[in-house]
Amino acid sequence: MAKERIDVLLSERKMVESREKAKRVIMAGVVYVNGQKVDKPGTQIDIEAEIEVRENVLPYVSRGGLKLEKAIKMYDINLKDKICMDIGASTGGFTDCMLQNGAQKVFAVDVGYGQLDWKLRNDPRVVNLERTNVRYLTMETLKTELDFVSVDVSFISLKLVLPVAVMLLKIDAEIVFLIKPQFEAGKEAVRKSGVVRDSKIHSRVLEELMAFCADQYLAVTELTYSPIKGPKGNIEFLAHARRTAERQNQFLFDTMALVQEAHSALIIE
């Protein structure tokens, strides 16, 4: 019997919007072929095989949208008719989440190229700023102030990105940023695998960033952990803050309690 890649078949059968979406759904571990789970997009299967998606397909173009979704719900963030920016857009999970929560316009910023999902590339509400280093963006470039910014960056410290975001935000506007300890702790604290597992390092990173934010006209109001781990299994954290007109006192929070809660919920090994 003839065979075909499972991601191709999912797309051809219109079970997902695109082949790229098919790959993500398969890798999420929710696709079954004749009752057996298949989690590799390149797996060859019989073209007549029964294929099931046993959980709801991701509501966003990437699982990253689930991270921002948690923050929006937990912090009661209203994005209706807001001008937003997604720093570190990549595939566009955060961008998609913003749009589905009523954003009027989203500037999707990324230093990479060709990553933004096709659906978002063709959405008139999205301004695709690929091949763009956010550190060189100005309000004059955008020709507008921002109501909301999200930050999800890798291989760079938030300490280099947040000051730029502050300059682009209106006073009292909101920001949600993803804290990735592996890019904040310093090389000596990161395992060769690229994973940070030490709860003390997690807590230190959070404390240092809260102190940094206070000096950057950011009033941090809440901290939580991301509902999903990063690609290598790193625990990540979500912070919610407001842009202020004056420097702030450091946000006081029991970071170790949060870290322990995150480790317990996400079962770090």
pLDDT in tens, 150-186: 999 999 999 999 999 999 999 999 999 999 999 998 8
Q: Which distant-in-sequence residues (6+ apart) come within 8 Å of 189 by Cβ?
A: 196, 198, 201
With a cut of 50, say whether residue 22 has pLDDT above it. yes
SS3 49: coil
Check residue 59 and give its pLDDT: 85
SS3 212: helix
Compute the CA torsion angle 250, 235, 168, 107 (nearest 10 deg): -160
What is the H or E stretch that residue 10 is in?
helix 6-12
The class (CATH top level) of 64-266 is alpha beta
With a cut of 90, say whether residue 18 has pLDDT above it. no
Check residue 247 and give its pLDDT: 84
With a cut of 50, say whether residue 269 has pLDDT above it. no
Through-space distance between the first and last CA atoms of the chain, rounded to whole angstroms: 43
- With beta carbons less than 8 A apart as the criterion, state whether 88 and 153 touch: yes
Alpha carbon of 161 to those of 48, 52, 166, 213, 220: distances in Å?
Answer: 50, 42, 9, 11, 16
Strands ordered across the beta sheet of 218-225? 126-129, 105-109, 83-87, 146-151, 169-179, 237-243, 218-225
The class (CATH top level) of 3-53 is alpha beta
Instruction: Tell me how many degrees the CA angle 212-215-219 measures, rounded to the nearest 5.
Output: 85
Tens digit of pLDDT for each residue in 24-40?
888 877 888 988 889 89
With a cut of 70, say whether residue 13 has pLDDT above it. yes
- Give the chain's mean pLDDT: 91
Name the band, by pLDDT with cuts 50, 70 and 90, for residue 107: very high
Name the band, by pLDDT with cuts 50, 70 and 90, for residue 44: very high
Check residue 230 and give its pLDDT: 84
Which one has a higher pLDDT value, 107 or 228?
Answer: 107
Q: Which runs of E-coded beta strand occur in the chain? A: 3-5, 31-33, 36-37, 44-46, 51-53, 83-87, 105-109, 126-129, 146-151, 169-179, 218-225, 237-243
Give Cα 96 distance to the centre of its chain. Answer: 11
Check residue 201 and give its pLDDT: 93
Please report, for the chain, the start and end positions of each structural domain, with discontinuous segments joined by +. 3-53, 64-266
Which one has a higher pLDDT value, 160 or 20?
Answer: 160
SS3 69: helix
Q: Which distant-in-sequence residues (6+ apart) come within 8 Å of 153 by Cβ?
A: 87, 88, 161, 178, 180, 183
Check residue 211 and give its pLDDT: 92
With a cut of 70, say whether residue 268 has pLDDT above it. no
Name the band, by pLDDT with cuts 50, 70 and 90, for residue 57: low
Check residue 140 and give its pLDDT: 87
Tokens 């057996």 appear where?
A: 36
Integer Cα distance of 224 and 204 in angstroms:
15
Amino acid occupying residue 41: P
With a cut of 90, say whether residue 83 has pLDDT above it. yes
